[in-house]
Amino acid sequence: MSSAGLIDPKLERGQSIDDRTGIPHLVIESQASRTVLDLRDLWRYRELFYFLTWRDIKVRYKQTALGAAWAIIQPVFNMLLFTLLFGKLAKLPSDHLPYPLFAFAGLLPWTFFSNAINSSGNSLVGSSHLITKVYFPRIIIPASSIMAGMVDLAFSFAVMAALLVWYQVPVGAQILMLPALLFLTSMLALGVGMWLSALNVKFRDIRYVIPFLIQFWMFATPIIYPTSMMPQKYRLIFALNPMTGLIEAYRVALLGKLNGAHFSWMTLGFSSAVTLAVFIYAAYTFRRMEKTFADIV
């Protein structure tokens, strides 16, 4: 919480006197430099990051009848629904892949990404009791929400492994790209989540915008259809969506040995550049707005 005032050495650390009223009040701010990301500050509060991540994991499955099974149910049911509607009825192409495999390979990263945006976008408002009491790097809150989603992602990967065995899909060297793709997906989710969470503190109707954003973004991403369906003249515009290159790369990493697909390094590089730009802009905006969170949350 920032204010106009001079620090009085007779006061306790963290208090200041307002020039106009002379009344001491609490100041919550960082003693570190105001860089976009202060890695030393983040490292200093790493234990809080672990605690918040573990808290989010426990809250996610607390008092649920099926517990962690929900992490499997959501993508599996979506896969079955998409297979029926778009694979069987609409007969959309699937790049010479069995449609369940095609759909699940896209839903695997998308489910993690969409859940990460939803949880991180609402994370600051949900942690107002922490923000108004003590200083810590606020980025820890949306970051811990995204890290907690990794548990659901791990369960989904187990289902993907079972599908690969069922369809007898050979695993090639392309699968070694998965860690890099997960890193890029997490970076993009953190960037979008940071930006939305900062806006949500100031404009509470952002929480109603997030579901519409996720729904629109899903249909603008090649999850139920391949990129090859798009006319060539529109593919550059389509590639502005960073999830386009990432989803296509996930399919190649997981299923490339089945249909002989290869990575489109140009598209993936473009998606990586957009992801980096989104992350830097979001971190700068988040850092600039961070000093007002405790006042208005």
Q: In terms of domains, do 15 and 105 share one?
A: no
Q: How far is 37 from 18, CA to CA, in rounded Å?
A: 30
Q: In terms of domains, do 18 and 162 share one?
A: no
Q: In terms of domains, do 40 and 71 share one?
A: yes
Domain count, the chain: 2
Mean pLDDT over all residues of the chain?
84
Q: In terms of domains, do 11 and 67 share one?
A: no
Give the pLDDT of residue 6. 33
Could you tell me if 210 and 196 are in contact, meaning their C-beta atoms sit under 8 angstroms apart?
A: yes
Q: In terms of domains, do 245 and 161 share one?
A: yes
Give the pLDDT of residue 67. 67
Q: How far is 239 from 234, CA to CA, in rounded Å?
A: 9
Give the pLDDT of residue 197. 94
Give the pLDDT of residue 42. 82
Look up the domain containing 10 and give its range: 1-30
Q: In terms of domains, do 20 and 47 share one?
A: no
Q: In terms of domains, do 72 and 18 share one?
A: no
Phi, psi dihedrals of residue 25, rounded to the nearest 5°? -150, 165
Torsion of CA 8, 14, 20, 22, to 10 degrees: -60
Could you tell me if 25 and 16 are in contact, meaning their C-beta atoms sit under 8 angstroms apart?
A: yes
Give the pLDDT of residue 35. 54
Give the pLDDT of residue 12. 37
Give the pLDDT of residue 5. 36
Q: In terms of domains, do 97 and 7 share one?
A: no
Give the pLDDT of residue 273. 96
Q: In terms of domains, do 79 and 10 share one?
A: no
Q: In terms of domains, do 142 and 233 share one?
A: yes
Amino acid at 159: V
Give the pLDDT of residue 2. 39
Q: In terms of domains, do 104 and 170 share one?
A: yes
Give the pLDDT of residue 20. 54
Q: In terms of domains, do 106 and 18 share one?
A: no
Give the DSSP H or E segment for 280.
helix 265-289
CA–CA distance from 181 to each of 160, 188, 222, 244 (Å)?
16, 11, 16, 12
Regions in the chain scoring below 50 on pLDDT? 1-17, 23-25, 27, 33
Give the pLDDT of residue 272. 96
